[in-house]
Structures are given as C-alpha cells and as structure tokens.
Structure 1
Amino acid sequence: MEEDSHLEGGENNREIEIAPALIAVHPTQDSVAVAVGSDLRVFDLRTDCGVSLVDDSVEPFHKDSVRAIRYSANGKLFVSAGDDKLVKIWSTDTWRCISSVSSEKRVSAVSISNDGLYVCFADKFGVVWVVDIHDLDVNGALSNRKAAPLLAHYCSIITRLEFSPDGCFIVSADRDFKIRVSVFPKKPLEGAHEIQSFCLGHTQFVSSLAFICSKDLPQGFLLSGSGDSTVRLWDITSGSLLDTCEVGSQAALSESDGSGESCCAVTDLCAIQDSNFVAVAIQGLQEIILLGCDFSSKTLSVAKVVSITEENFIPTSMGSSSAGELLWFVTGISKLRDADHKSLARLKVVSGLRKKGHPESPDQHKPVVLGDEEIPGSQKLLEKLQGSLSIDQSVFSAAAEAIKTAMCNLLIKKQYPTESREWRKRTRNDRKAKQ
C-alpha cells in the first residue's frame, strides 16, 4: 500500500509537469518553429504558409513534451527532442522526418555540429550522446540511427549544449552549476575524452548558453545565464570568468518568492548576430534585457530594457537569425491545469537590434516591439504558431502565473525524505529492466 501511494504521487507529479514553449529561427529566417507540449509548429516564410510535417517512423511525431529544438548552421536540418525519449531529425526542404533516434532517458538538450555532420543530445541522467549523420539522405527514405555516448556529467541533468563558433569545442552546462568545455574529437563516436576547461562560478543551475563574437574575435566569448540571476562572460580556452552582470538586480527583481529560492532566474539568452548585444529573458519579467559586450575591456553592461506592452507576456524562449535584425520570442506552456486549452503560446518580435554601437550608447539603437500586422507572415504566421488567436485573457493570466514558478522549478533539485529516496532507487526504470 505504501509503495502504491508513492507510485501514485510520482505519477501525479509527472502528469502535471509543464513544459515551457520554445522557439527556433532558421539561420536565414526562411522559417520559424515553435514547440509547445508535444505539438511542433512550423511556418515557412518563403512560401508564406504553415508547414505540414511528415513522419513515417515507427513512432511518428512526438507523444510527450518537446524540450529542445534546433536548426543546423546551414539550415538544412532541424532537430526536436523531449520527454518521449525520441530525437527526431527533419529535413527543412521537405519537412519530413528523415531519422528518429531513441534515447534511454528523457532528452533535455540538443545541438548540431557546425559542419552539420553530428547531432548531439543530452539526457536527464547527465549523458551526452552523438549521432553520426554523414551519409544521411535529406531527400531519401527514413534512416534509423543509433547514438553513441560522447561525454557525461556526474548524474546531473544537462541543461544546454552549444558548439563553439569554430566547432572545436562542445560546451555542456548542468543543473549543478557547472559548465564543461570539451574538445570535440575528430572521431566523436569514440568519445570526447579531452576536457579543455571548466567554467565555474555560478551558484545556481545554469539555464542557458550563447556565444558572442566580433570580426576581430571570431572565437568570441561564452555567455551563461543562471538561476542565480546573473549572466557571466567566459574565456572558454582557460575557463576564466571575465565579467558578471547582475541582471536580477538591474531589473529590480532581487526579492525572493518566499521559498528561499531566487525568483528571477535567467531563462534564456540570445546573441544578436553582427552586433555586440545579447538578449536576456528573466523568469517572471515582462521585459527583455539587452546587454552590451565591450570586447576590448571584456565586460558586460545593461544597454536597454525592452518592455512588452501585452499583459501577461512572459518570454519563455528566444531566437534570431544571422540574416535579419529581428529577435523572435514566445511565451506559453503545456499542461495548464483546469484549462480547455492544454497548450498555450503567444509570439512577439522585436526589431532594431542590429545597429552597432558602444554598449554605453543605447540611443544608437532603438528596439521596437512589432505589432501583429508588422511581423513577417503576420496573421497567417500567428495562426499557425500560436494555434489560436481567440483564447480568453484570463487563461493567459493563469498561464503567466504558472510560468513564473515553473521556469525555475524545472531545474531546482527536488528534496525527498529518506524513505522516498530508497523507494525511488528500487523502482528506477533501468533497474526494472535488469530484473
């Protein structure tokens, strides 16, 4: 009876675990993808119409929340993965799933090597896997691939994966405050055994990573966002911390939610191409903070705060392309309690971010939140990516409240009493399989 009650509680917790909406933008802004819950929505800006995905795999489409989406650097591939333990590789020419890879655990992060030859993904057990896609035919039949272990963090959920601009390193961040910089090997299927550095300094989970570069510094610097309300600037070669920007206090959000945990975690970072700016989304904040990076002094500073006028719009994910000056961001969650709409999404776009200037001179750029009719694709795009334009505002008010707590709670370690920990150990899925 006791084990039944444990099981019931675990299943209930799993059932109501929500997933924040995600957005990804094609490198040349040919298309935009939004994931909310298990729903993957794509709009083609070239043809000005929504995309119908084709998936002929044994397990077609995602059956549970998508936790990571990513375009390849050349835009030919798109990868989605999540709680159903499936990593799906799509051709962006046909939007057909050309390979479906099974993971042993739920997937928490994905990345694609700069040359487009390897897909890497991380699971909830702290292992990073690599899939060789050298001879993957983007126009051919579905291909089943197997993943090989690349590297691992010690039993810590990996939150983000990023390749360095030159493709020489793969950077992995985890829930236990660590950032590992590994040399990406010439033969990845044999593992990444050489660690270049560790970037240590965060005091809460690392939620996001981004590289910011300049013409004089193509290797760039690494930026990391965290639950400790900071964005930090790193030299990945040495692992040196170059600067720390207290974005939580800058946004006047340093108060606690009463639980002892920070209520102003950084939830996403997005570097703006061909500029020295990076956009920062903060849990519970209806604004985007624009940081400027001074490459000569290796420092970060707040350049501007972009307010979002729409009520209850709290960004959960951001994306931009190398071709345009637009910053795309989305708000939304899946599995909202007591709502007719189980998956909600709203999308906004900011323009005017590409003009270069010293981070102390915010007047040289004037970011503007575009109206719905000004967004590329306008009404057609919004109908496709948001799913519905007629959701009552009260529903989004409830969603906004859920987002404020959920974005942080997804990564905060759960504390279990001793008896619960022992039960969880005995009923782990991997142990069940061995029995």
Structure 2
Amino acid sequence: MEDTPMENGETNKDSEVAPALIAVHPTHSSVAVAVGSDLRVFDLLGGCAVSLVDDSGSSLHKDSIRAIRYGADGKLFVSAGDDKTVKIWSTESWRCITTVCSEKRVSAVAISSDGSYVCFADKFGVVWVVDVDVSDGNQASVNKKAAPLLSHYCSIITSLEFSPDGRFFVSADRDFKIRVTVFPNKPLDGAHEIQSFSLGHTEFVSCLAFVCTQECLQGFLVSGSGDSTVRLWDISSGSLLNTCDIREKAGLLESKGIEECYGAVTDLCTIPDSTLVAVAVQRQVPICWIFLQGIILLSCDLSAQTLHVAKVVSIEGDAFIPTSLGTSSSSGLLWMVTGASNLHDSQYPCVARVKVISGFKESTPDSVEHGSIVLKYNEIPGGEKLLEKLQGRVSFDENFFLTAAEALKTSMSNLLIKKQYSTEKREFRKRTRNDKKLKQ
C-alpha cells in the first residue's frame, strides 16, 4: 500500500484511525453504525434512535470499535475493538447481556448459526469462543471467561465467518491465508480438525463472505484481498475455483507511466437470495491514493463456478469512499458507510456518512444493470432521523471525508501490511524481547 522505511516497523497507537462500520439486521428492523468508540443504532420499525443499556458497571466502549455483527436470526448483536472488550447485546431490549474481556485488542467477530456461541479474534492471531445464554436478557454477565478455539500463530486475523450450514468456521489473516475449520460440537474444548486451507492470495486477506441460494445451501466462499482480486473457493477441498481481478473495472489499469497500481478490496457483502457480491475498493498507487467512489457488483455463476463484473455503481460528485457494507435478507437494499475517527486536528472527531443503494430484489445481472440506484436522503428508510443518529449530523464539510480517506490509507497500511525491518533492527528486536529479558 505505502512505501515505508525498513526501520518504520513500529507504529504509534495514538495515530491509528478507525474506519466507520455498518451492520444491518437480517430482517431489516434496525441498522447499526460504529465510528471510533461510538456505537449508534437506529430502529427502522419504530422510526427512532435506540438507547443502549449496559448494566455491567462499565461504560460503553472506551476505544475504537473494530468489529460489529448481527447474528443470523437477529437476536444477538456483538461489538468489539481496541478496548479489549467484547459486548454481546440482546436486540429485543438493546441491553448488554454479556461483557467479555480479551487479553489483546479484538480484530474480528462472528456468531454461530444457532446463536449459541460468539467467536472473536485478537491481534495475536488467537480465536476465542464464549457461550451465550439469552434465557435471561435482563441479567448482565460481567467479564465472562472465553476459551481459546484456534490460532493463526501471531498473524493478525482480519475476518471470521461461519458457513451457512454452520458446519465450518472460516478465518482469514494478514499473511494471505484462509483456514477452514470444522466447528466442533463442544467448541469450548477447542477446534482441532482443519478441513482445508484456501491459499492463493498474494496480499492480506481483508474480508470473507458466502454466496448461497435455495438450490445451493452450502454455498461457496468469496474472499477479498489487498492483491486487487476477489476469489471464489470450494471450502470442502480448499480449491480455488475462479479469480476476478477488479483493477480494470476500478480504473486502475488506465494509469499510464506508473509501474504498479493496486486496488485493495476492503469489504465484501453478498446480497441475500441472489448470486451478487458487492465489493468496496480502495484504489492506490505508489505516489498517491485515489479512490473508487462507489462499489463494484460481481455476479457469481454457481453452476459454472465463476465470478464476473455485473456493474460498477458510482456516486458522482460526492466524496464518498465506502469503508463498510451491509444488507438484509428482506429489503433489497445495500447500505454503505464512510468516515473515520481519531483524526488529529479535526473538528469532526466521529462523523460518518450513510448511503443506500436499491434495486437488488431481482438477482439477474440484467436487472441489476438497469435497476440499482443510489437513494436520495429523503428516500432512505428512517429519513432525516436516521441520518442524524447514524451520521452524527446531517450536513458536514466535504473536505472531512477526503481527509479521512487519506488517514485511513495510513491506518490500513499499519494494520494489514506486514512490517519490514533491516537486519540490524531485526536483531535488536530479538535481543530486547520481553521473554529474553526474563531469562537474563
């Protein structure tokens, strides 16, 4: 992503910028946005903002939220991040029913298909699991103990997913690997059976999703990466079925006189009951970063096991670079958010912007080509009340989002691009490791 000196292996946590995140309830009853440590939820059915209740004795998140997720049935919602806490919420009362303390900062979360277990990954590459008891949604469980499930051995885990049938648990990391694990009957005892490894990406794997239909319930895995590709996998064997290079459609191959040009896939979202995959792309070149203002829609042919570009949905005249995508099984809408927190010298510390694209009830490429449009503010469900809650404000300075995009470039580089050190620096780090100090 960015040329950094070999000695710049260390990063300053104070300079880390957190991207805005979005999640949509499976039945489209609510929408959640996280910006920094601020968690915002809007009730689409009631047309009002949601007040979160946490009786655990602690405040809500104290540091940047890095992952949010609804359960498959919509009864649970999970938020986690840099404050080393995982909070599990009941979406019926929006009360925090469980708070889990992590040993390290949390990078990804997932909820089992039946809602019985919550899994989360920390920055040291360990995936933890905790059982969830929703029988008493009014009694908060504080500092519940999590058990180790599996490990990627010191590689930052970027994404976690359960297969649609609940049989497999998929984890991806910064070191280009995708691991498919058989989810055990007793996950608190650990997951020891590896089904397959899906190997082929040449840069960090940033996101995972499943494409499935009524005729193909097990579905296929799709993954996005910093290598400018979206790949289709058979998780049972780990075999690569197809690769779609998104650089041409993102305009990355049009830059003449530049030797290298990349487009990091930052998020994927599969459209329920269809074979469409929405792709958010950050476009960058060595000397500067330019961004695709919109998304790429891919169509997956499950019978031919191929991916191809169905449409590029651009947002003209708007400084909107999506940082996160979300959708539900009943709305036919794709939700997007952009924004960032922890921006130094900014008068807007936690501002986000929400956009919605319609036209996904029909799943054929032809209907998408002619039907998907960006909704105007007054056409978005929830209207101005929703925007005030999720964005923090309705009107804002356009330059803020351009500044946020530049800051996110640096943040993602620090997080996902593996740090490089000179020989001298590497030897010094070995000599000064904490475990070496203890032995001395």
Q: TM-score, normalised by structure 2?
A: 0.90
Q: 1:362 to 1:422 in 2, by over 3 A?
A: farther
1:15 to 2:22 alignment: no
Structure 2: distance between partners of 1:181 and 1:122: 15
Q: Which residue of 2 aligns with 1:5?
A: none
Q: Which residue of 1 aligns with 2:156?
A: 157
Structure 2: distance between partners of 1:291 and 1:267: 15
Distance apart, 1:400 and its partner CA: 2.8
Q: Which residue of 2 aligns with 1:191?
A: 190
SS in 2 for 1:249: coil
Q: TM-score, normalised by structure 1?
A: 0.91
Q: Which has the higher strand share?
A: 2
**Aligned pairs for 1:285-434 within 5 A:** 285-357=292-364, 359=365, 361=366, 365-418=370-423, 420-421=425-426
Distance apart, 1:269 and its partner CA: 0.3
Query: 1:312 is matched by which residue type in structure 2?
Result: A
> Please, which moves more after superposition, 253-262 or 164-173?
253-262
SS in 1 for 2:79: strand
Q: 1:217 to 1:417 in 2, by over 3 A?
A: same
1:91 to 2:90 alignment: yes
Distance apart, 1:354 and its partner CA: 2.1
Query: 2:173 is matched by which residue type in structure 1?
Result: D
1:241 to 2:240 alignment: yes
Q: Could you tell me whether the CA contact under 8 Å between 1:325 and 1:352 is conserved in 2?
A: yes
Structure 1: distance between partners of 2:74 and 2:405: 32
Distance apart, 1:128 and its partner CA: 0.4
Q: 1:434 to 1:97 in 2, by over 3 A?
A: farther
Q: 1:256 to 1:123 in 2, by over 3 A?
A: farther
Q: 1:370 to 1:194 in 2, by over 3 A?
A: same
Structure 2: distance between partners of 1:422 and 1:64: 33
Structure 1: distance between partners of 2:101 and 2:261: 35
| Structure 1: 5+ residue stretches without partners | 1-8
SS in 1 for 2:404: helix
Q: Which residue of 1 aligns with 2:269?
A: 270
SS in 1 for 2:69: strand
Distance apart, 1:247 and its partner CA: 0.9
> Please, which moves more after superposition, 138-147 or 240-249?
138-147
Query: 2:333 is matched by which residue type in structure 1?
Result: L
Indicate the structure whose relative CO is greater, using CA pairs within 8 Å and at least 6 residues apart: 2
Q: 1:384 to 1:143 in 2, by over 3 A?
A: same
Q: Could you tell me whether the CA contact under 8 Å between 1:163 and 1:171 is conserved in 2?
A: yes
Structure 2: distance between partners of 1:21 and 1:426: 38
Distance apart, 1:431 and its partner CA: 8.8
Q: Could you tell me whether the CA contact under 8 Å between 2:100 and 2:142 is conserved in 1?
A: no
> Please, which moves more after superposition, 161-170 or 407-416?
407-416
Q: Which residue of 1 aligns with 2:200?
A: 201
Structure 2: distance between partners of 1:277 and 1:73: 19
| Structure 2: 5+ residue stretches without partners | 1-8, 283-290
User: Considering only aligned residues, what root-mean-square deviation do their CA atoms show, in Å?
Assistant: 2.5
1:35 to 2:42 alignment: no
SS in 2 for 1:199: strand
Q: Could you tell me whether the CA contact under 8 Å between 2:333 and 2:357 is conserved in 1?
A: yes
Q: 1:405 to 1:309 in 2, by over 3 A?
A: farther
Q: Could you tell me whether the CA contact under 8 Å between 2:311 and 2:368 is conserved in 1?
A: no
Distance apart, 1:426 and its partner CA: 7.2
1:116 to 2:115 alignment: yes
Query: 1:396 is matched by which residue type in structure 2?
Result: F
Query: 1:321 is matched by which residue type in structure 2?
Result: S
